[in-house]
Amino acid sequence: MKRFHVILFALVLSVILAVSAVYAADDMAAKLNGTLSKATAEKFWQVSADDVLAMINAKKTDFLVVDARPDPNMFKAGHIPGAIHMPVQDMLKPENLKKLPKDKKIIIVCVTGQTQNLPIVSLRAMGYNALTMKFGMAAWDKNSIGVKFMKEALQGAETKNYPLQK
């Protein structure tokens, strides 16, 4: 009889946890959707390299540039003045979130502007004023590897005539 009660308790607990997980996932999806639904009106949370340079030149203190390039050697080879390095794959770790101030703009920068977009909705849903710099370091440094990647992508589009459906 005791074994039956233990099994019954474990079964009830499992059902409660499963139902809680479903509701938690629904709540998270609703919160992320609420954030994402504001993207168009908020210009997809992007700033230009000129905007960032103007903030630096004005000596503004209401922003932090976060260099999200995954390779620390890229950061060491050259980065935006005042930036900190936090690889995109580590950005949402609790110890790294503690380094991001909620009372400042967080401007995320990567190689070409693609991977920096991965954490943006999550960060905004968590209350951070997170932005991305359009085209990442390719817009900042004419010698960055991102410029090479973008040129190669554009050449591919020009020469391969990928099909479009209309």
Domain definitions of the chain by residue range: 1-37, 43-142
pTM assigned to the model: 0.79
| Angle, vertex CA 144, rays to CA 105 and CA 85, nearest 5 | 40
Mean pLDDT for the stretch of residues 45-66:
97
d(Cα 64, Cα 71) in Å, to the nearest integer?
Answer: 19
Highest mean pLDDT among 26-30, 108-112, 152-156: 108-112
pLDDT digits (tens, 9 = 90+) for 104-124: 999 999 999 889 899 999 999
CATH hierarchy code of domain 43-142: 3.40.250.10
